């Protein structure tokens, strides 16, 4: 059964509210790295090759925001599973690190945890340094993440993978990660 846009928006809003209640650590970890995952550096956007990929339905949260530009891409132009037929939405942050944090995307909210499905089908959250073009001190220094952040992030991703497109994408990324054999740390 097709889910209506209204229902999708409601479910994304619920996930945002759940994630609003938790933070990766009890201090502003941006002070450790100069907000490397989102800031300009001396006027130049350091991570200009990075965009945030939206999960299905998240695009509905960005109907009217000065802080984000939303684009869509044909999945055929991306390294996405063939089964994914819908347009893929991405956002660019207009003025990082200034941000409307109430609508920042799930990919940003759940960082530095990454979803992973093991070969025996178990769903995990992992830390994977190889995913990012910059060094995150939380991963580098093995700083312990808040337990409630881990638990809520896990719950949210479990909700997200009930969408077959999301499940197939996570599975696709997981097998590719395993093939690279670079290693990662399972958090939960
Ligand atoms: S999540 Fe990592 S890279 Fe991003 S602000 Fe915190 S410490 Fe820096
Ligand atoms: S959504 Fe906000 S916090 Fe996240 S990368 Fe963009 S500007 Fe930074």
Atom of ligand 2 nearest to the CA of 98: 7
pLDDT score at 8: 86
CA-closest candidate to residue 106, choices 172, 152, 49, 175: 152
Atom of ligand 1 nearest to the CA of 143: 7
pTM, to two decimals? 0.91
- Report pLDDT digits (tens) over 60-97: 998 878 888 899 999 999 999 999 999 999 998 888 88
CA atoms of 72 and 53, how far apart (whole Å): 10
Provide the terminal-to-terminal Cα distance of the chain, rounded to the nearest Å: 31
Atom of ligand 2 nearest to the CA of 96: 7
CA atoms of 91 and 68, how far apart (whole Å): 6
pLDDT score at 25: 96
- Report pLDDT digits (tens) over 175-187: 999 888 777 889 9
What are the domain boundaries of the chain?
5-186
Tokens 């991306």, residue located: 78
Best substitution site from 19, 53, 92, 96 to test ligand 2's pocket, by max atoms within 8 Å of Cβ? 96
pLDDT score at 43: 57
- Report pLDDT digits (tens) over 9-68: 999 999 999 999 999 999 999 899 888 887 655 556 566 666 789 999 999 998 878 888
Mean pLDDT of the chain: 89
- Report pLDDT digits (tens) over 100-155: 989 999 999 999 999 999 999 999 999 977 777 788 999 999 999 999 999 999 99
Q: Please confirm whether the linkage preceding 35 is cis (ω < 30° from 0).
A: no
Instruction: Fill in the DSSP letter of residue 127.
Output: E
Q: Taking the CB of residue 53, how many other CB atoms lie within 10 A of it? A: 16
Rounded to 10°, the helix 5-20/147-160 angle is: 170
CA distances from 157 to 99, 160, 179 (A): 23, 5, 23
Question: What is the residue with the minimal CA distance to atom 2 of ligand 2?
Answer: 99
């Amino acid at each position: 059964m097709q889910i209506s846009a209204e229902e999708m928006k409601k479910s994304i809003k619920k996930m945002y509210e759940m994630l609003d209640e938790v933070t990766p650590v009890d201090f502003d970890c941006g002070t450790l790295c100069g907000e490397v995952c989102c800031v300009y550096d001396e006027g130049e956007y350091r991570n200009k090759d990075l965009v945030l990929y939206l999960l299905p339905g998240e695009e509905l949260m960005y109907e009217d925001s000065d802080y984000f530009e939303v684009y869509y891409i044909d999945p055929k132009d991306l390294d996405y599973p063939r089964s994914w037929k819908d347009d893929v939405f991405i956002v660019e942050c207009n003025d990082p690190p200034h941000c409307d944090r109430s609508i920042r995307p799930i990919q940003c909210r759940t960082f530095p945890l990454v979803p992973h499905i093991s070969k025996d089908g178990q769903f995990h959250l992992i830390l994977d340094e190889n995913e990012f073009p910059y060094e995150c001190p939380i991963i580098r220094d093995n700083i312990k993440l808040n337990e409630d952040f881990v638990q809520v992030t896990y719950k949210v991703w479990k909700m997200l993978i009930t969408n077959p497109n999301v499940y197939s994408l996570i599975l696709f990324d997981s097998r590719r990660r395993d093939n690279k054999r670079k290693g990662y740390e399972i958090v939960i």
